[in-house]
Amino acid sequence: MRKIVFLTGTRADFGKIKALIQSVEDHKDFEPFIFVTGMHLLQEYGYTLIEVERCGFKNISTFHNHTDEATMDLTLAKTINGFSEYIKDIQPDLIVVHGDRVEALAGAIVGSLNNILVAHIEGGELSGTIDELIRHSVSKLSHIHYTSNKEAKKRLLQMGEIEPSIFVIGSPDVDIMFSNKLPDLDEVKQYYQIEFDAYAVAMYHPVTTEIDTLKDRANQFVDALIKSGKNYVVIYPNNDLGSKHILNAYKKLLDNDRFKVFPSIRFEYFLTLLKKSDFIIGNSSAGVREAPYYGIPTINIGNRQLNRASASKIINVPCETALILNAFDKLSTVTSESVGTFGKGDSAKLFLDSLESSSVWSINHQKQFKDAL
């Protein structure tokens, strides 16, 4: 039985890989192990370890990697140390990491330096912050790539990755988005005590490369929400550098009955809220990835999702209160379109199909750079 370690550091990446973990858990030839760290263990951000444990997976281990939000490098170093000890105990055949967080980078470093195959989920994508540098670094440290589309595969080929190591499986969260396991809206509203009917989802994350202006932009964002006169379900940012500026700005929303603010929301419950919302506003990837699949308009603010996939229902606007307010007037003009950019909801099957083939396990641990023709 092959041992496969999945590393998760945030509610977002766990939502992406949960379907993949379940497919491995249900297979007689594989044994999954889950290394839980990062935001999952922070009370301030909802202690989302509970959501991982609620899934009932057998082999869950935790590691506190938090140091200080201003020292991502030290968080990386601490995660490397903790994960290195963990994999020496587990001795896995494969390490699976997702996306562009420092936890993913730590996992890829530990795996590659210990001669363990590393698989990267959703490599080859673009963004507008330090995340892009991390994502591409993780790809170069990984041996196997599971991309969300052919465009991402093309970028990995440009980076010198060999074609047999790249599998296009779509975005794994699409599996859950259109499953029959989502709760209905009444259940979600009752669980989170959301009393208004019409609402939008608001999610604003720090842009670490724009830290000098983040405090002002967080306040501009919040002021626009207040002046809009609309109802909002607001979800805390991730814990990157500058998140405290956003949390301080959210204090303006206290005692305002048009706002329900949560440190975190269960992934399936979040999807239901998004699916039934009037629109989503902020700079979360959910606005450019999940929302278009549901036909939900997005007001995408600032540069965090710069160069990421776009759709006709996305309105891009700088983070200035007046310009954000103007964007509300454009919501009625956005048009719907058919979206299939990130797969068809069969990512877990395609992922498992690849693991069942002998070719994946014979991929050379000694990576080669493939020159472009």
* Same domain assignment for residues 192 and 311: yes
* Same domain assignment for residues 109 and 206: no
Tell me what pLDDT residue 67 has.
Answer: 75
* Same domain assignment for residues 155 and 239: no
* Same domain assignment for residues 239 and 174: no
Tell me what pLDDT residue 75 has.
Answer: 92
The answer to whether position 370 is within a domain reads no
**Six-digit token pair at 299?**
């007001």
Tell me what pLDDT residue 342 has.
Answer: 82
Q: What is the side-by-side strand order in the sheet with 200-203?
A: 259-262, 232-235, 200-203, 280-282, 298-301, 314-317
* Same domain assignment for residues 164 and 205: no
* Same domain assignment for residues 119 and 151: yes
* Same domain assignment for residues 34 and 57: yes
- Amino acid at position 333, single letter: T
* Same domain assignment for residues 289 and 269: yes
Tell me what pLDDT residue 304 has.
Answer: 82
* Same domain assignment for residues 167 and 278: no
Tell me what pLDDT residue 337 has.
Answer: 60
Low-confidence stretches of the chain (pLDDT beneath 50): none
Alpha-carbon gap, residue 92 to 132, rounded angstroms: 28
The answer to whether position 368 is within a domain reads no
Tell me what pLDDT residue 56 has.
Answer: 95
- The CATH number covering residue 116 comes to 3.40.50.2000
Q: What is the pTM of this model?
A: 0.91
**Six-digit token pair at 125?**
């994508």
Alpha-carbon gap, residue 220 to 89, rounded angstroms: 48
Domain that holds residue 237: 185-333
Tell me what pLDDT residue 307 has.
Answer: 63
Tell me what pLDDT residue 340 has.
Answer: 60
* Same domain assignment for residues 214 and 160: no
Alpha-carbon gap, residue 235 to 262, rounded angstroms: 5
The answer to whether position 367 is within a domain reads no
The answer to whether position 366 is within a domain reads no
* Same domain assignment for residues 17 and 132: yes
Alpha-carbon gap, residue 234 to 321, rounded angstroms: 17
What sign results for the dihedral spanned by CA atoms 7, 11, 17, 23? positive
The answer to whether position 109 is within a domain reads yes
* Same domain assignment for residues 227 and 148: no
Count how many domains the chain has. Answer: 2
The answer to whether position 369 is within a domain reads no
The answer to whether position 340 is within a domain reads no
